[in-house]
Structures are given as C-alpha cells and as structure tokens.
Chains A and B, each alone.
Chain A
Amino acid sequence: MTRVEEQLQKSFQSDELDSDHQLGNIIDVQGADDRAGVYSIGAVAKMVDVPAQTLRSWEDRYALIVPVRSPAGQRLYTRDHVEELRFVRDHIQSGLQPADAHRLLAERRRARAADVDETAAGGRRDGLLDESPLAILLAERDPYAAEFAEYFLRTEGYVTTIVLNGDDVTRVLAGNRPDLLVIDLMISGGAGLALCRAVRAADQLPILAVSAIASGDAALEAGADAFLQKPVQPLQFVSTVRDLLGTSAFLRRTASVR
C-alpha cells in the first residue's frame, strides 16, 4: 500500500472534521449516544429555526442547554440539545415566555430522570432506548461513491453497511435484513438489475437503484422503488432514502421521545 493509500484509508476511517462540522462516527450512532457534541451553533440555529444569538443568550441566562466545547472552543450541540431546543421553541411559539419554557424543560428533565431510574429498577422501558436506528445496505461498486453515500446517510442517523460486490448482497440479506437497500446497477460488472429482481422476488424491502447510466426504466421494471443517476446530489440522495423509509432515522427517534 502506498503512502497515499494509507493516508486516504485513514481519512476514510475517521473524519477529523473542522469543529463546526464535527460528526459522531458509526459507533456513536449505533450506541445511540445522543450526548456527543455534533452540531455547530449555526447548524442548530438552522435546524430549530432560532437565531444563534438567541441560543447564546438562553445559554447565559438559563444555563440549561449548555453545549460542550470543541478543543478550539467552538460550541458543539448534541442531538438531545437539539430536541430540547425544539421543545423550548415549540412552547415559546405557543405563547410561553422563554423563561417559562426553560422552567418546563427543567421539569421534564426531572421527570425523565425519574423514568430512567424506574426503568433501571425493572420498570417500563423507554421507547428511545429500545429503538434501533434504521439500517441501510449499500451495494456500491465504486469505493469513493460508497464512502460519500455512507457519510451522508450516517449524518442523517442511518446505520449503513457497505458491500462492494453483488455476491455479498445476498449473504448480508440472509443474515441481517436491512430497512432499505441501495444498489449500484453497475455492481459486479452490471449485475445490479438481476440483483434487484432477485431481492424483489423474495422481499418487499425498499430498493433505491443508482447508476452512472440513465437506466431508470429498467431499474423500476426490475423492482426498484426509485432510481437516481450518478453522481447523486447528497441532499437528493438522503431525501430519497428518507421518502422511501417514510421518515428519517433521527426524526423517528426523536418522535418516539415526545
């Protein structure tokens, strides 16, 4: 392996991203650790539709939703923070003062903590802990395309398994059925269409076909639910997956918390 390849593999394995784009790795997602700092203040401001300045002033004033700091001092919000901020925002929108919304949040936290204790003591299990993230099997010929697709799916909260040849698809499907299958039609020298047919004959799981060649008709005929031509726009890719699954993994999880 050349020096270039080694470094490249390293960069693929761990994305040492800028502080404002820090993302949890696969392990974090699988472990459902929503306490890892992930989102920048700018990203959170967009996600919850509250200006960054307001987020900072709430942090100072109520000291309730306090992001962790990156080594460079950047604020990093967790998924839990995002969910709590949505809770606060919704209550303010329904007429509450920010201070009251934060009081409500503090109460909810206490109630949750009691719930968790109860669960630990052998009581009812919380939906959040029970919910496993949605799994996607990515059958992709091109390792670069696979790497980018995996990255964008992961940032949306999906757990992705990559296989680089067609034979592995049937093997993985037999072991652990994913929630959705992405197939590059050119995999294993063009075996993608046959693979679509075989999977569809045995299962109803959603299939998203992709190919560098415009072959949407053939893909749909072979049983795929959707087709995208490569190179695929990340947003379009992720939203197509989301549409096929009904909802994003992240939203599904936060929805189950409410």
Chain B
Amino acid sequence: MSDRLSSGSSRLDSILGGGLPLNVITLLSGRPGTGKTILAQQYVFHNATSAQPALYLTTVSEPLDKLLRFGQSLEYFDNSALGDRVFYEDLGQVLTEDGLPGVLARISQLLKQRRPGLIVIDSFKALRAYEEDDAAFRTFLHHLAGMVTAMPVSSFWVGEYDGEQTAQAPEFAVADAIITLGTDRTAEREMRILQVQKLRGSGYHAGKHTYRLAAEGLDVFPRLADPVDASNYGGAQELMSSGVPALDGMLVDGYWRGAATVIAGPSGIGKTLLALHFVVAGAERGEKGLIATFQENPVQLERIMGGFSWTQNDPNIELMYRSPVDLYLDEWVHDFFDTLARTGARRVAIDSLGDLRAACGDELRFREYIYSLLQRCARANISVMMTQEVPELFGVTKLSEYGISHLSDNVILLQFLRGDSELKRAVTVLKTRGSAHLQQLRQYEITPDGAVLGEPFDSQQSLD
C-alpha cells in the first residue's frame, strides 16, 4: 500500500513530493473563489472506498445543499458514491447548539462509526468564532489533532485565511501540511497560484505554481526549475548539417545536434522563416519536428509555408499553436514537454521568445524557465531554435533578449542594411559554442528554397 495520498492529478502529486503523506493534517487555505472546496472534494472522490470512506463535514459558511449542487458539475463527482464511500454531513446544528465540544464529540463518534480514511472540515476557519478565548480554541485544536492522529485518517482543514493569518492562527502550527491557493496580479492579468508552505516529513517543490480550475478539478502546472545536472549533457554530441544553407555557410564546422540557437532581428527580416526552414529540413530527413508558435495561427502558417512548397501537414511536423492572450507560462511549458514526449521531436522552433516573456511576470523567473527548458532539451539532444525580435530596424545596437543569448549555444543576428535603392538582408553569427564560425557579415536571400547565403558585402556597404 502506498504511504501517499494522491490528489488524482499527477502534477499536483509531483509538487508534493509524490502526494501528501498519509494520515496527516493538511490545511487548505485561500480566499473565497480560489478552489479550496474543489481541491478538497478532489481528494475525497479520488481516495474514498467503502472500507475507508471519506467524510465531508461542513460548518457554518456554506449550506451543504449548495456545496453538493456545485460539486455535481465536477467530473470526479460521483453520485453513486454518496452514502457509500462518501458521506457529507452538516455540523452547523451541532456547532450552534453545543459549540466546539459538540463538534469534538460528533467527530469522535464519526471516527468510530464510519472509520473514515479521509475527513474534511469546511470551513475550519468558521470554528474559531465559537470559542471566545484563544486558549480554549487551542485546547480544542489539541484534542482534535490528538483524535485524528490516533486513527488512520487524513484530515483536510479548509479555511478562507489570508496572508496575515497564516502566520498567527494556531491551526497553522498544528497542521502537518499547508497548501495555499491564491492569485498573483501583473498589470490587468490575474494568475491562480498554488503554494506549498509546509510539508512535514517530505520534500516538496517550493515556489509558485500556476493552476486553472477545470471540470476535472484543479489543473496545476508545477513551475519549471531544474537543478543543475551535468549528467548526459554532451554525451552523444555530433556535428551535422542544419539543413539551412544560409546557416551551414556561416557555421564552418557544422551544427551541434542538441544546440540552442537564438535568431534575433527586426520585424520582417525572416526569423520565423529561418526557424521553420530548420524544422522542415529536419523533417525532410525523417527527423520529427515541432513548431511552437504564438505568432501565426495554422492558417497563416500554412500560407507562409506554402510559399516555399513546404507544408505543416507533413507527418513529421507537429504544430503547437497557442494564443498569447491569457497565456500561462507554466501551462505552456508542460504542454510543450508533453508534445515533445508524444511526438519524439528532434528539432524545435519556438516563435517567439517575446511572447513567452510577456506571459511571465518576472524576468528572473523567465530566465530560469528558459534555462530549464534548454537544459532538458540539450540532455535529450533536441535542437531548439528560438526567435527574438529586436526593436531597431537598422543598426541593431543591443539584443533585448533577457539574457537568453547567454544561455544559448548559437546567436545569429539578422538585420537590414540600406543598399542601392533596396533593402539588403544580412546575417552575422555573434556566437557559437564549441565550434568555429565565419566572422563576417554576409548577405542572405529568401528564395523559394528558403534562406540561402549570398555574396559578402563590399567595402562600400553602409553598416547602419
């Protein structure tokens, strides 16, 4: 038998180091509307059995009928479980008539009669109002904790506590685990945030994890934070052709499989095209590819690719289009890794870094994400090409890429140069890790075959 209590969501369990430890007291804290009740019921329905049923005890904050009515809309809610493996009970009357001692007596009875494996008290915070004296409330907590510790039962105390109370309320000291649900606000965007504040006797994944409330319950996206791990890195490195003539011409030795490349340049210069070309060239050799884009929807993308007699309907190419509106970086990253695992993609185009950056409130966090993402891809020998827009059309002075170039193996700058009554496109390799490259500014052209290298510029060429 497992010594962990599953939430039914493998991602949430992974945040909790494999699930909550069995038979502990967990405090679920958060403001109204954050999904505490949804999460508590998720645990109830995923763990209750006839032999070890779950008890859901409501106090005085929400009528039981209302809780049941809303509960029904959740996917895991199982009507046939009620009265068999899940028991709801309203403690409101006991509480009004006999106060907290009545609650203790009732819970003691229920523990004996039902022998539950899981017991939820919602709202726990409402109980505090039934004892004037702080010491008496602590005594109540002591008895309740003693009782539930003596039986093989996992407890959830659900309460609408806010930040300040977290530090002061005695129930936070008594609880073995504390999970808070809240929101983070950046500009006009709100993100739901789950945090583990405390988990006795177990490791957990600290920090802020975004989540959404869905019909299947709480859908959480553990924040990406990979520890530095040198294992596997560089194990199966090989130099290869990128398949993009313009790129191969600049990289003297070839392209390292599994390398991360930033393609920076102004709008309209052909960054997307270069990244697409990289994926398509791989697909033509039978390497699976993934195009992760925010910029072009599938119709727009097909139009662009059609111009080069490429198609996204190639079975070797997977398109992952997500709207940049209301994007959760964590959700996207999990989606991304799931897609990589599902398709076995070897080459990836991410278009663009700026869209991902906009979905992340904090620049430092963003760098951590990209670092983790690139590390994972490098370990799996997956080549990543990321596009990055620079604001200046001419005379690029700096790459506003949030330090990503530092984390990348190759940095390629595309820019416009003023020529004789026409714009010229120029490519420069600013950085390659572990191989040589041309130290030149070279002209390149976009042809029906993709991006191809042109002649070196002559000495008269203006560079701004």
A and B bind: yes
Residue numbers of A with Cβ under 8 A of B are 2-8, 10-12, 15-18, 21, 142-145, 147-148, 151-152, 230-235
Chain A residues with Cβ below 8 Å from B131 are 4
List 24 A–B pairs whose Cβ atoms lie within 8 Å, in order of A's numbering.
A2-B135, A2-B139, A4-B101, A4-B104, A4-B143, A6-B101, A7-B98, A7-B104, A8-B104, A8-B143, A11-B105, A11-B109, A12-B108, A17-B109, A142-B146, A144-B149, A148-B111, A148-B150, A231-B23, A231-B149, A231-B150, A233-B152, A235-B51, A235-B115
Known: A11-B109, A15-B112, A21-B113. A5 touches B139 (CB 8 A): yes
Q: Which residues of A contact B146 (CB under 8 A)?
A: 142-144
Q: Give B402 Cβ to nearest chain A Cβ, in Å.
A: 50
Q: How far is the CA of A151 from the CA of B150 in the complex (A)?
A: 13
List chain A residues, Cβ under 8 A from B51.
235
B136 touches A (CB below 8 Å)? yes
Cβ of B68 < 8 Å from any Cβ of A?
no
- A39 CB to closest chain B CB (Å) equals 13
Interface of A is mostly: helix
B136, A3: Cβ atoms under 8 Å? yes
- Taking a contact as CB atoms under 8 Å apart, the answer to whether A231 and B113 are in contact is no
Contacts of A6 in B (CB 8 A): 101
Alpha-carbon distance between A144 and B153 when the two chains are bound, in angstroms: 13
User: Does B104 lie within 8 Å of A11, measured CB to CB?
Assistant: yes
Closest Cβ of chain B to A210, distance in Å, is 11
The residue that B152 contacts in the complex, of A4, A18, A231, with Cβ under 8 A, is: A231
Q: Bound state CA distance, A186 and B131, in angstroms?
A: 33
Find chain A residues with CB under 8 A from B115 CB: 233-235
Closest 10 CB pairs of A and B: A7-B101, A11-B105, A144-B150, A145-B150, A231-B152, A144-B146, A21-B113, A4-B139, A144-B147, A4-B140
Inside 8 A of A16's CB, which chain B residues have their CB? 109
| Cβ-defined contact, A15 with B139, below 8 A | no
| B101 contacts across to A, CB distance below 8 A | 3-4, 6-8, 11
Q: Give a binary string over B273-310; 1 marks a CB under 8 Å from any A CB, 0 the rest.
A: 00000000000000000000000000000000000000
* Chain B residue at minimum C-beta to C-beta distance from A15: B109
Contact of B150 with A17 in the complex, beta carbons under 8 Å:
no
B113 contact set on A, CB distance < 8 A: 17-18, 21
Which chain B residues numbered 95 to 114 have a C-beta less than 8 Å away from chain A?
98-102, 104-105, 108-109, 111-113
- Chain B nearest Cβ from A8, distance in angstroms: 5
- Given contacts A231-B151, A232-B152, A233-B152, whether A7 and B102 have CB atoms under 8 Å apart is yes
CA distance A17 to B139 in the complex (A): 24
Closest Cβ neighbor of B141 among chain A residues: A4
Say whether, besides A144-B150, A145-B150, A148-B151, A4 and B109 are in contact (CB < 8 Å): no
Nearest-Cβ distance from residue B5 to partner chain A, whole angstroms: 14
> Bound complex: CA of A6 vs CA of B150, how far in Å?
20
Tell me the minimal C-beta distance from B52 to chain A in angstroms: 8
CB closest chain-A residue, reference B117:
A233
**In the bound complex, CA of A7 to CA of B131 (Å):** 14
- Least CB distance from B110 to A in Å reads 9
User: Roughly how many angstroms separate A222 CA and B335 CA in the complex, as a whole number?
Assistant: 56
Interfacial chain A residues near B105, Cβ < 8 Å: 7-8, 10-11
